[in-house]
Structure formats: C-alpha cells, structure tokens
Amino acid sequence: MKSKIDIKTSNLNIEYFDAIRFMEKKVEKILDNKENEMLWFLNHNHIYTCGTSANKNEILFKTNVPIIQTNRGGKTTYHGPGQRIIYFMIDLNKRKKDIRRFVSIIENSVISLLKEFDIEAKTFPKRVGIWIIKSQGKKLLKEKKIGAIGLRLKKWVTYHGLSFNINPDLKYYENINACGLKNYSSTSLKNLNINLSNKEFDMIFKKYFIKELSKI
C-alpha cells in the first residue's frame, strides 16, 4: 500500500548540510514505517556541489562560493537563490523498483510544467537534466539546460532530487562545467520571459509529479 506523501515548503534559504541531515533522518523514519514519504520544496544559499561522479576539472574558476563534495549521484552543479530545489523522499519499495523510471517521472513532470508556458523541453540519453529547445514558438539556436537531477537511494528510498532555475543569477554557472558538460549553457524561466513565484511553481510541479508517480 502506498503511503501518504507529505509536502514540506521552506521559504527561507536552507543550508545545504542541514538539508542533508534532515533527509537522512527522514529516510530512516520512512524505512522504519514511522513517517510518511515527502516532497520538500526549498532554496539553498550559493554553493557548488560535486556529486559522486564529479571530476575536479568541472570547476573552471574558484570563487568565494563554497565547493563541497556530496553523496548524491551526478557531477558538479550550482545551487543558489532563485533556483527551486525539490527533494524527493519516496519509497520505491511500495512502487516499481526502477530508479531510471523514477528519474523519468521527475523529467516528465518538469516538461509538462513548462508546456503550460508554451516552452518545449526534452531530455537527451547522454545528457542528464531537462533542456529547453523552443520557447513561445521560437526555436533556440542551441538547447539550454533549465533543470538538473541528482539522486541517492538507501534501501530503495530516494533522497536528493531536482534543481530548477526560476530566476537565479546565471553568471554562477560560468565558473563550472555544469553536470560535466562543456559548450552548453543554462537558462531560467526569467531568461525566457516567464515570471513565476516559488508558490506557483510548487503547486504546478506537485500536480504533475503526483499524477506521474501514480502510474508506477
């Protein structure tokens, strides 16, 4: 039987390691059947995080922004104000034990959200994340990344998750090869002339995610 999914929303910036500690404790409680699953919507302060498959060469320029090693999957990325984070503490023991399928659920939820604003996005087999290819009917000269995904599993309970660019300062991406990719740039809803609040984003994403998750 699938458990209830609680929704946690944080409007202040959450320190990265505080979030990690919270998720690790939450996962243990989910495994012990003491608490419900959870979606957590939040923001972080400026930080570069290097996942378990990151390479030191992905840091192009060192600045005063902290660079930390983390236990999520994936490579190097940026977090900061204006970027919405969603952490997924979901028990796949109660669903299909297929992490690739779960990643697709996150990707499809973002793609559906973007369609509401006449933005066309897609994924690529060899490039992690969600990529914009067309906005308001106009095709981009080259696709740009708007969302990154990095997850970790403990006994088939997920944690970590999605970072999505609503209106961050994109200059911070210039210091890294985001997700290990050279010659590609990032974008945001603001850069695509879409104004969306965190609350509006949370509501729309949750709608599509719950719908997609119910399929497994």
Tokens 């119910």, residue? 214
Query: Is residue 45 within 8 Å of 19, Cβ to Cβ?
Result: no
Query: Is residue 110 within 8 Å of 205, Cβ to Cβ?
Result: yes
Query: Is residue 190 within 8 Å of 118, Cβ to Cβ?
Result: no
Task: Count other C-beta atoms under 10 Å from residue 199's C-beta.
Answer: 11
SS3 16: helix
Could you tell me which of 183, 175, 177, 128 has the C-alpha nearest to residue 150?
A: 128
Active site residue 179: yes
Q: Which two tokens stand for residue 198?
A: 């965190």
Could you tell me which of 127, 136, 112 has the C-alpha nearest to residue 185?
A: 127
Q: Write down the catalytic residue from 179, 192, 204, 213.
A: 179
Could you tell me which residues are beta bridge partners of residue 38?
6, 89
Catalytic residue set: 179
